[in-house]
Amino acid sequence: MENTTSVLGQAYQIFFTVVLIFLALMVVLCLIRAIIGPRIADRIVATNMMGTMIMVMIAILALMMKEGYLVDICLIYAMISFLAVICLTKVYMGVYREKKLEEEKKNGSD
């Protein structure tokens, strides 16, 4: 019975490690998408996805290391990530409105 438990524990460790490596690769790909764009909306979505994947990575680390405080860090990171996306969206909407007003003034004066 004890042998089965240790084998299952090792299988979980390997699975969690593979998932962490996969998520790290996905975070790098999202970072590339956030850098190259091409639109601001793509950058905001990529930033949001990076935050979500990092939260999952922290949760998996909490399971692997059996540390409860990492769950608290994950929740705090979720709040900060949510606020960051809201701020980025607010800035984007302000820039979009300014451009639209400039275009309307330009078209109205012609």
- pLDDT of res. 103: 86
pTM of structure: 0.79
User: What values do phi and psi take at 8, rounded to 5?
Assistant: -65, -40
Mean pLDDT throughout 32-42?
Answer: 89
- Average pLDDT over the chain reads 89
The helix/strand count (H/E) of the chain reads as 3, 0
d(CA 27, CA 65): 21
- pLDDT of res. 88: 85
